[in-house]
Structures are given as structure tokens and as C-alpha cells.
Structure 1
Amino acid sequence: MRAALRSSYFSEMNGGTMKRTYTYKQKTLQFFAVLLPIFITQLSIVSIGFFDTIMSGHAGEQELAGVAIATNLFFPFFNSSLGIISGLTPSIAHLYGANEKGKIRFIVQQGFYWALCLALIFIIAGFALVTLLVPILNLEPRVNYVFTHFLLAIACGICPIFLSAVLRNFIDALGFTRLTMCITICTVPINIFLNYLFIFGSWGFPSMGGVGAGIGSAITYYINLLLNVLVVTNIKPFKDYHIFKQFPLPSLKEWKRQLSIGIPIGSTIFCEQSIFGAVGLLMTVYGTVVIAAHQSALNFTTMVYMIPLSISMALTILVGYELGAGRYNDAKKYSRLGRIASFIFATSIATTLINFRMGIASLYTNDPSVKAFLSIFLMYAVCMQLSDGINAPLQGTLRGYKDVKITFYLAVLSYWLLGLPIGWILAVQLKLGPYGYWIGLIAGILSGAVLLALRLKVVEKKYLKKMTGSC
């Protein structure tokens, strides 16, 4: 019997989509089959900001500070907006697991409508916020110029990348995470090449410093959209959904249904990431050297965070798929598997950070003063990675259950009502300076992990009771 099940499983997996699994070995194989492409995709996405910061840093200390402050402000809002769009993933995964494929096309098409509206709101609100912040930050003239013009340049790529995100969530929710991986990988060398042209000036292009990084990123976002469109319109099974044919009228009822899932997810991401933005702004009182070191450390930890984040996204897909098919026990097993894998990865990364922090610091800057602060901040990042390794998979599992509202409230509590106040007290009142804020960040993430673990137990009990009652 076991041999027959294994044979059936492997023949299904060769089809490239998610299939029912029967043993832990099969679940592990399918988990990593979904996870690894997501990880490479997320790493490629965040590497755009990574290379923007790295390459700007080698153009000068002020270029690094300007781009670092800009990305620190931009990416919390940017990623939370993409988080809203990611609400499509559990919805599509549930429909796919329930074999209700006819409804998927309508959901994706409506997603285009409201994602475009979201992009326009993002751009307008961004201009208003930057105008408000410029006099408050009181930055050095060159740093201020890079900060404002980087944001102006990258804003030109918001609409295409938001539309691209709709397609990416559609592809991922069907289990074809390797395709989105390939698409995103293709854009990374393009972004590096464009950064080289516009930051340093070459082949007749002007040397624009940190501002050039924003231009390169915006162009890369357009290329990403083009590649996603080509995949969806030319490759099976996606082209069978006819996503770009016979667009229906906008449905506010469907928008409300989708956004009821997406907005709490995006708001939770904003709570998590905006606290880093708030701390970054509070760090400006310590001078350009500390700003550059702090933002560089956060930039690296963001890269490393892609491991637990990818596990979280894989769990959302797999748990949503199993729940849509009515297989509660399988969903619970995937959740357990993801949490174990996340903690193992986080421990490994923490060990690497401890042993190679000076080498990592050298990637960002040659300035001895910046490097000294950066190497210390990376030690705090060790604790942060361990906390993220517990927190992220719990979030992904809860999103698979479509339990998103309570997790948003827990994020507000842990990050803004616990983490930030603790950081401020340690930094200002107890005179720990910038290190106090790092301790506060760690406290927020760790407290969030505890609260999410408690919430997951409640949700699992409710779902089990519902399943038992329906039987």
C-alpha cells in the first residue's frame, strides 16, 4: 500500500503542481519543492534594494546614507502594499485545492483593478509623506537630494510592479513557484547592470550616484511585469485561464472580499516593517555614520529574513491548499514541518553572522568608523534572526487559515506597544543609544512570536471543532 501511494505521489509531482501527500517524506519533498523557488524569488526581489544600497555605498558615504534612508522609508510601505496583494494567494490556493478553478480567473482580473488603484494611492500618499518629512529630518544637502530623488525615480515603477505582483501570486498559488523564481532571477543581473550605468556613469550615461539606483530599480520593475505577462499568456496551465480576455466590470463586492483578507496581511507587514523605518528615523540624531551603519545592518538582515519569510509564504500556500481540500491533519503537519525547518535555518544563519560579521561589514563600506558600528549591529542581528525564525512560520500558517485580523492586532501590540517603547526607554532614558533600539526590535519580534503561537492553538482548535461538527 505504501509503495502504491509513493508511486502515485511521485507521478503527480512530475506534473509540476501541488498534489496530495500521504507520508512525512512526501510532505517534506513537496514543502521544499514549493519553498526553494519562493526563497530564490524573494531573495531576488529584495536583492534589488540590497544592490541599490551596496553599490550606492561605494559611490560615497552620503550616497549610502541618502539611499539607505529612502529605502528605509519606501520598503515598509512598498512591502505592506505587496502584502495586501498577497491576500490573493490563500484565496486562489483554497479554490485550487477545492477544484473550483472556474472562479480563479475572475479573482485575478479583479485583482488587477484594485492593485492598480492601490498603486496610485501609494504614489500620491508617498509624495505627501516625503514633502512632510523633508523639513523634519534636517538632512545634509547631498543626503537630502539623494533621499528625495531616489524616491521620485523608483515611484515610476510602482504601477508595473503591483500589477506584476498579482500575476506572481496567481502563479505561486497554483504551485508553480519555480516559474516566478526564474522570472525574478532574470531581473537581478538587469538591475545590477542598470545600477552600474546610472550610479557610476558608463557608456555615455551620466554619473548620478544614489539617484541612479532608483532609476535602475524602476526600469527593472517594468521588465519584471513584461516577463510575467509573457509567462501567463504563453505557458500552460496559465494560458488556459485566459487571464487577459473578456475583462469583467469592476466588482466592488469582490474587491471587499479580497481586501478583507489582503488589508490585514498588508497591515501586519506594515506594523512589522514600519517599526524598522521608525527606528531608522530615530537613528538620525546619532549622525551620518550611525545612520549608514544601521541601515546597512538592516539591509543585510532583510536579505537573511528571506529564509523565514519564504517558509511563511510556502506554508500559506500549502496550508491553504490542504484546508481547501478539507485535509485538516495534513495542514497541521505542514505547519509543524515549516516551524522546525525555519528554526534550523535561523540557527545556521545566526552562527554564520557571528563568525563572518567583519567580512559582511566590508561588503558595505570601506569607512573604518561605519564598519565598526556595523559589526556591532550585526551581533544584535543574530538575536533578531532567531526570533524571526520562530515568528514567520506562525504567520504563514495563520494566513493559510485566512486568520488575518487577529494577527494584525497582535502585530500592533507586539511591535508598537511593546517593541518600540522598550527600545526608546533603553536608548533615551537608560542611555544605551542606538543599541537600545535594536534590543527593542528584538523584544517586539520575540513577543510577537509568543502571541502568534498562542493564537495558532486557538485557531487549530476552532477549525478541528468545525471539521468534526460538519462530519
Structure 2
Amino acid sequence: MTNRPQGQGGKPDTEILSSPETRDNQVAPISWGEEFKATLSLAWPLVLAQLAQFSLQITDVIMMGWLGREALAAGSLAASLLHPTAVFGIGALTAVSPMVAQSIGAKDITSVRRSARQGIWVAGLVAAVIMGILYQSEVIFAWGGQMPHIAREASGYLDYAALGVFPSLGFVALRSLVTAHSETRIILVTTIASFFVNFAGNYVLMFGKFGFPALGLAGAGIATSIVQTFVFILLVLYVAFKENYRRYDIFARFWKADWPRFFEILRVGIPIGLMVMVEVAFFASAVFLMGWLGTDQMAAHTVAVQLASLAFMVPLGMSQATTVRTGLAYGARCFEGIRRAGWISVVIVGLFNSMSCASFLLFPHFLISLYLDPNDPANAVPFTLAVSYLLYAGFFQLVDGLQAMMAGALRGLSDTKIPMIIAVVGYWLCGLPISYFFGFTLGWEGEGIWLGLGIGLAVTAVALAYRFINREKLGLVDGMRPVRVAA
């Protein structure tokens, strides 16, 4: 007989839905064409969901702009703290996705249930830490040398937005479950619905409509928390009542601790969260540097970053699909499937990013005019600056897509610690010092800061690609090699 891991009470820790003989043999990979179709089928709802999610941010930025330049600057400053911390939490919960995908590939139903359930537990822990940071935002901004009145307004937004952190992370945990089952349209539907809730909440609470007081940025923070709670509840109901997920009993005996899986998610997820946070904080640090240059530079940077971030939603959605595809191949012990899943995503994103690069280089004035009115004399300086920044954003589109795909593929193999170190070196030891050197030492100001951003992305992309290419030599797939136990 084959030895099996033992859980509490001496009972088998996993419920295997295939025979040991099937698990010990590698699965033949699907063709390149089939992998292309499978990746696109999984990715397109995720990409659209990312675009819909980003539309919430665009809506917030546009409506903050209606409040004035100072409100826009305060909103950008608030985002420079909210996004890195929230993205850390999202990254940490992203560990649920490859763990569930690997379990599905291995046909291990109990492991799927454990990962999804403990993912929500981890969401609660991480949310508590993030909220504690956000409630100290005014102190943090003062330490960063930001203008007091801008910092005060930004903190007012964050005090309310912090309430939505746990629902947003709980949503990520459940999203990982349904995504690993290649069921992504529900993610798209909930995200689109959240757009309308967010717009209505902003309109009513920011500007004081229908008898509500005009709360400004604080109203936007309240609307953000309402939206996050709304989408989390929708996905909870979907997983609780959809037939496909009833066999997992995710919410049955939910209060019962499963510490081994809880800490396993933290072990895999914290490096992912740190890696993603390092990248986002790298871009957020540029906001601080721009804040030293003035309000016009910060406003211009905000617009250029919004456009670059919008283009990045496609690679971001694709990277989620890549994690699932490589995770499924890893769980099924298919070496060739891992290779094809990784490189198919690079090809798809490379084609898209070539087009986004061309649009940034050829039509910068048109794109900037979507945010800033070029006929308004008050926008003359920030408009010109934003155009120059967007040209730099165009040049780093290709390396940005490559680093996202390679990071997603490595996560599917549960390889997270070294990629985190690569991100720290690429962004903070290379990119940020270069941004400061060119921006302030050489006096290139905003353009120098953007040059450093591009170099940081390039260094990280090359290092991650090297690691994925040499995954077998580096021992990243040793855990999937067949191990037979004597009878």
C-alpha cells in the first residue's frame, strides 16, 4: 500500500480523487494551440475584470479632479499609502490561487477546501495589520515631508477606506477558488456591478446629492468601503450556493482552526505580497519624489501613471491566468505544460504591450487630454509634463509585461521567496536610486524619476525570466517529480 499523510485524529489528510498510479505518472501536455486557447479562455474575463476594477480608480481620480487640483493631489497621496499596503494583502492572499490550482491538478478535494477556508482566515489577520497602518497615515505623511493640508485631506479619505480592507481581501481569497476552477465570468460580473455602486456612492457622498452632506474625499473613502463589502458578499453567496462548490463545504465549521494550512498560506503568500508591494511602493515612492517638486508635477505624474496602469491591467489579468495554468500543470506533474503555459502568456502580452507602447508614443496629447483640458491655462504646465512622462511609460511597456508574466508563472510553482528578493534589488537598489540621481542630482526632475522607473522594471524582468527559463536546473519543479513509497 502507499503511505498517505495523516491529519488530526489519524485520519487521512487528503481526499484523493484519482488513483496513486495516475498521480505518479506524468500527464501528457496539451498542444501549443490548445494551451493558447485555454489561457485566453481563462484570461479574458480576468483582464476585463481588472479593467473594470481599474475603472473604479479612474472614476475616483476623475471625480477628485472635479473637486480641484488640491483634492486630486491629496487623492494621489492617499493612494501612495493605500495601494502598497492593500496590494501587499492582495498578494499574500494570491497564494491561495496556486495552492488551489495545484490541488485541482492533483485531484485533491480536501486540500482545495483547506486552502480556500484558511485563505479567509489569513485575510482577517492581514487586514488588521493594514488597517493599523492606514489609521496612522497623517503621521506617515508628515514624516515624508508632505504639505500638511494635503496630508490632512488624504488621511480623511484613508480613515474610511480602511474599513473596506477585510472585505477586499476576503474577495481575493474566494476569487482564487473560482479562478482556479476556470470560472472567471462571475469575477467580471461582480466587478462591473461594483463600478456602478462606486460611481453612485461617489456622486452622492462626495458632492452631497439627495440630501446627503458633501463629504469630499471622505465621501470617496466611504464609497470605497461600501463597494468592497458589496462584492465580497456577492462572491460569498455565489460560492455558498453554486452547485460546483458545495462539495467543498467552505463555510461549514468555519470557526475550526487549520493551523498547518493557515501558516502554509502565510509562508507562500507573504513573499508574494512583499514582492507586489515592493513594486507598487516603488511607483508610490515616485509620488513622494514628485511631491518634492510641486503640485503640477504630482498632478502630471498622477495622470501618466493612470494611463500606464490602465495598460497594465491586461498583463495583470494574464498573470493571474498564468499562475493558474502553471499551477494546474505543476499539480498534474506535467513539465512541458509548465513551459507552454509560461511562454504562451509572454507571447500574448508581448503583442498587446507592443500596441500600448505605440499608442503612448504616437498619441500622448490625445491620451492626456482625456484627463486634463489643454485649453485651460491652469493645466498648461501639468499637461506638458504629463506628455513627457507618458513617452517614458511607452518605452517600458514591454519589460513591464514580461516581469508580470514571469512572476505569475513562478507563483504557479509556489516559487515566491527569490522573486521577492529580485524585486527588492531591481526596484529599490537599482530603480529608486537611479530615479533620485537623474531626477535631483542631475536636475532632470520628473523625467529623471520616470527613467529610473523604467530601468527598475527592466532589471526585474530579466532576472525573473532567467529564473523561469532555468527552473529545472534551479530545482523549482523537484517537488512534482514522482516519489514512490515502498509497500
Scaled by the length of structure 1, what TM-score is found? 0.92
How far did 1:207 drift?
A: 2.4
1:27-38 residue pairs with structure 2 within 5 A?
Answer: 27-38=35-46
More off after superposition, 157-166 vs 62-71: 157-166
Correspondence for 1:416 among 405, 410, 428: 428
Report the equivalent of 2:358: 351
How many angstroms apart in 1 are the aligned matches of 2:95 and 2:144?
35
1:280 to 2:292 alignment: no
- Please list the CA deviations of residues 371-424 of structure 1 after superposition, one character each: whole Å capped at 9, or x if unmatched: 221111111110222221221111111111111111011111111111111111
Give the 3-state SS of the residue equivalent to 1:322 in structure 2. Answer: helix
In structure 2, the CA distance between the partners of 1:175 and 1:203, relative to structure 1 (3 Å rule), is: same
Aligned equivalents of 1:469, 1:167: Cα separation in 2:
30
Contact 2:105 2:328 in 1 (8 A): yes
The reply on whether 1:247 has 2:245 as its aligned counterpart is no
Does residue 176 (structure 1) correspond to residue 183 (structure 2)? The answer is yes
2:157 touches 2:217 (CA, 8 Å); kept in 1? Answer: yes
Residue 402 of structure 1: SS of its match in structure 2?
A: coil
Query: Matched residues, percent identical?
Result: 28
**Letter of the aligned partner of 2:115 in structure 1?**
I
Match among 132, 136, 160 for residue 124 of structure 1: 132
Pairwise CA distance, 1:212: 2.2
Give the 3-state SS of the residue equivalent to 1:246 in structure 2.
Answer: coil
Deviating more after overlay: 367-376 vs 130-139: 130-139
Between the aligned partners of 1:209 and 1:369, the Cα distance in structure 2 is 25
The counterpart of 2:381, out of the listed 369, 376, 400, is 369
Amino acid at match of 2:105: G
- 2:300 maps to which residue? 293
Q: Is the 8 A contact 1:156 1:218 kept in 2?
A: yes
How do 1:48-447 residues align onto structure 2 when only pairs under 5 Å count?
48-134=56-142, 136-139=144-147, 141=149, 143-247=150-254, 249-366=256-373, 367-447=379-459
Judged with a 3 Å threshold, the aligned counterparts in structure 2 of structure 1 residues 154 and 192 are, in CA distance, closer, same or farther, namely: same
1:26 correspondence with 2:34:
yes
Residue 150 to residue 96, structure 1, CA distance change in 2 (3 Å): same
The 3 A distance-change label for structure 1 pair 466 and 67 is closer
Alpha-carbon spacing, 1:466–1:197, altered in 2? closer, same or farther (3 Å): closer
TM value normalised by structure 2: 0.89
Q: Specify the SS of the correspondent of 2:186.
A: helix
Distance in 2 (alpha carbons) for counterparts of 1:468 and 1:218: 45
Unaligned runs of 5+ in 1: 1-18
Amino acid in structure 2 at the alignment position of 1:213: A
Hey, which of these two has a bigger chunk of helix by percent?
Answer: 1
Q: How far apart, CA to CA, are the structure 1 residues paired with 2:481 and 2:333? A: 11
1:450 to 458, 462, 470: 462
1:43 to 28, 44, 51: 51
Deviation at 1:283, TM superposition (A): 1.2
CA drift at 1:459? 1.4
Out of 254-263 and 101-110, give the one that drifted further.
Answer: 101-110
- How many residues are treated as equivalent by the alignment? 452
Code of the residue aligned with 1:265 in structure 2: it is: I
2: CA distance, partners of 1:307 / 1:413: 25
What RMSD over aligned residues (CA atoms) do the two structures have, in Å? Answer: 1.9
